[in-house]
Amino acid sequence: MNVTIVDYKSGNISSVINSFKEVAKDKVTIEVASDLNKIKSSDKVVLPGQGSFKSCVDALNKIKGLTDTLNEFAITNKKPLLGICVGLQMFADVGYEEAETKGLGWISGKVSKIDNQNGKYKLPHIGWNQINIVKDSKIFKDIKNNSHMYFVHSYEFIPNDKKVISATTDYSSNIVCSVEKENIFGTQFHPEKSDRIGLKIIDNFINL
Amino acid sequence: MLKNRIIPCLDVKNGRVVKGINFVDLKDAGDPVEQAKIYSDGGADEICFLDITASNENRDTIYDVVEKTSKKCFVPLTVGGGVRSVEDINKLLNCGADKVSINTAAVENSKVVVDSSKKFGSQCIVVAIDTKKNGNKWEVFTHGGRNNSGIDALEYAEQMEKNGAGELLVTSMDRDGTQVGYDIDLMSKISSKVNIPVIASGGVGNLDHMVDGIRLGQASAVLAASIFHYGKYSLKEAKDYLDSKGIPVRI
């Protein structure tokens, strides 16, 4: 089996690569690529994302055919895909960071700034917060409710269909921090930086 | 609920861990990769490396340390010291750092903060403020505490938030190495001035100081070096103590 981490030149993905390689050991091949054929032939794809919604979408669009290839992978062929942080946010129809920007539209909804209640809550939401698991998700196998995960973000994904939500976290309101829709998975937190428990989520995804 | 973070900091020189007392009189005490791994296994919420003499010396050793550490530690890794340019930041991130802290360069050329936060995202840009009290204001120092810029630390903190910093690492030079506690007045003033998280640094000598830094100083995170490094307290002891005082921590 092989898992491809999509390298679309947006932000720092070395931690994602290190964590997947740590979990995969020799059982699974971890590739890092933006090559369309490599992505097409993968069993699973990881879509990381750092920086703003707009910068990530722009970076995806800069690589000719990448969005189409990802659509084909996740929507047409229904192969497992994990979005991390802005990688998850891009599942939305639209994001409002920097400028209104069209997302991938895989899970209908929008990405807006966290309401910090007039400065009562600091932004970005940085650090360890507990997740409230609201739906059995395949990537939460052996993950206890209220586990701590590492977050760094100022924007939140608000899906229209609440049934896709698998976990929320409490920061000024109940923020969506994990989704599962058929073969599409996403975490707002960073499993690659969430210690052993985060590596377990990565392990769960690899073993789907 | 978001937890307050405890961040052990390792001062690194030529690839080895040292901790300065008021920025001089260094003692050599260990391999940074192994030390970081001990901290991350022990429950550190993040790890911080500060390459203390990087401004003057060969920086390649730190890249190697970061690369090795990031393959062993799966909690966030912040690296600072001698970071001069967007290219330096890029290099550290590529080696596996999750955040980079910028000190002197942010004072001398604010464009570095503006450009790097645009390029890599605010989440990985930490502005480190070394400051010392002068009369009734705090002044920002650069070059590892050697040069006084004369800039007011509170105004500077606000400006750095506007420039795109994701966090501020505030070190009281008056307190650094003294173990008499964080400068609470400084921390709370900066924390209430900005809406980004503040990491308190400089002066922690016991666990009550951490409680005070968070509760009175309103810091989102507390950084400590010596008290962990020389084994005065373990991370677990620190977390259990903070927890017993009602401070939310990840246990």
| Per-residue pLDDT, A124 | 92
Asked whether the beta carbons of B6 and B233 are under 8 A apart, the reply is no
One DSSP character per residue, A102-144 reads E---SS-EEEEE---TTTTS-SSEEEEEEEEE-S--GGGTTPP
| Per-residue pLDDT, A119 | 86
Q: Please name the residues in contact with A77: beta carbons below 8 A apart, sequence gap of 6 or more.
A: none
Q: Which CATH architecture has domain A2-206?
A: 3-Layer(aba) Sandwich (3.40)
Residue B83 has pLDDT above 60, yes or no: yes
Own/partner long-range contacts of A40-43 (Cβ < 8 Å, ≥24 apart): A40/A69, A40/A72, A40/A73, A41/A2, A42/A2, A42/A3, A42/A4, A42/A73, A42/A79, A43/A1, A43/A2, A43/A3, A43/A79, A43/A80
Average pLDDT for chain B: 91
| Per-residue pLDDT, A143 | 97
Contact A122 B197 (CB under 8 A): yes
Q: Please name the residues in contact with B149: beta carbons below 8 A apart, sequence gap of 6 or more.
A: B107, B139, B140, B141, B142
Burial label for B222, CB within 10 Å (0-12, 13-18, 19+), is: buried
Give the N- to C-terminal CA distance of chain B in Å, as an integer: 13
Instruction: Point out the catalytic residue in the list B45, B88, B130, B183.
Output: B130
Alpha-carbon torsion, ordered A14, B222, B113, B154, to 10 deg: 170
How far away is chain A from the Cα of B22, in angstroms, using its nearest Cα?
Answer: 29
Chain A residues with CB under 8 Å of B70 CB are 14-15, 18
| Cα–Cα distance for residue pair A124/B212, rounded to 1 Å | 23
Q: What is the pTM of this model?
A: 0.94
| Cα–Cα distance for residue pair A128/A147, rounded to 1 Å | 9
The helix, strand and coil proportions of chain A, stated in percent and rounded to the nearest 5, come to: 30, 30, 40
Is B130 catalytic? The answer is: yes
| Cα–Cα distance for residue pair B71/A16, rounded to 1 Å | 10
| Cα–Cα distance for residue pair A153/A84, rounded to 1 Å | 11
One DSSP character per residue, B85-113 reads SHHHHHHHHHHT-SEEEE-HHHHH-THHH
| Per-residue pLDDT, A10 | 76
How far away is chain A from the Cα of B64, in angstroms, using its nearest Cα?
Answer: 14
Chain CA centroid to CA A106, Å:
13
Distances (CA, A) of A7 to A154, B118, B228: 23, 19, 37
Asked whether the beta carbons of B186 and B223 are under 8 A apart, the reply is no
pLDDT digits (tens, 9 = 90+) for B3-34: 999 999 998 988 888 864 333 444 445 788 88
| Cα–Cα distance for residue pair B138/B144, rounded to 1 Å | 16
Instruction: Point out the catalytic residue in the list A31, A97, A180, A190.
Output: A190
Radius of gyration of chain B (CA): 16
Domain boundaries, chain A: 2-206
Chain A residues with CB under 8 Å of B118 CB are 55
| Cα–Cα distance for residue pair B98/B69, rounded to 1 Å | 12
Is A56 catalytic? The answer is: no
| Per-residue pLDDT, A201 | 98
Question: What average pLDDT does range B34-45 have in this prediction?
Answer: 92
pLDDT digits (tens, 9 = 90+) for A82-138: 999 999 999 999 999 989 999 999 999 999 999 999 889 999 999 999 999 999 999
- Bridge partners of B134, per DSSP, are B137
Residue B60 has pLDDT above 90, yes or no: no
| Per-residue pLDDT, B27 | 47
How far away is chain A from the Cα of B240, in angstroms, using its nearest Cα?
Answer: 16
**DSSP, res B179:** -
Interface of A with B (CB under 8 A): 11-12, 14-15, 18-19, 21-22, 50-52, 55, 116, 119, 122-130, 148, 150-154, 170-171, 192-196, 198-199
Those residues of chain A that have pLDDT short of 70 are none
Contact B98 A193 (CB under 8 A): yes
Chain B residues with CB under 8 Å of A19 CB are 74
Q: Please name the residues in contact with A96: beta carbons below 8 A apart, sequence gap of 6 or more.
A: A53, A110, A111, A112, A113, A155
Contact B74 A195 (CB under 8 A): yes
Secondary structure (3-state) at A99: coil
Domain B5-244 falls in which CATH fold? TIM Barrel (3.20.20)
Secondary structure (3-state) at A47: strand
Q: Across chain A, where does the E strand assignment appear?
A: 2-6, 29-33, 44-47, 81-84, 94-95, 101-102, 109-113, 125-133, 148-153, 155-159, 165-171, 173-181, 184-187
Share of chain B above pLDDT 90, in %: 76
Distances (CA, A) of B117 to A11, A57, B86: 10, 17, 9
| Cα–Cα distance for residue pair A32/B23, rounded to 1 Å | 41
| Cα–Cα distance for residue pair B167/B181, rounded to 1 Å | 21
Residue B54 has pLDDT above 70, yes or no: no
Contact A127 B93 (CB under 8 A): no
How far away is chain A from the Cα of B166, in angstroms, using its nearest Cα?
Answer: 7
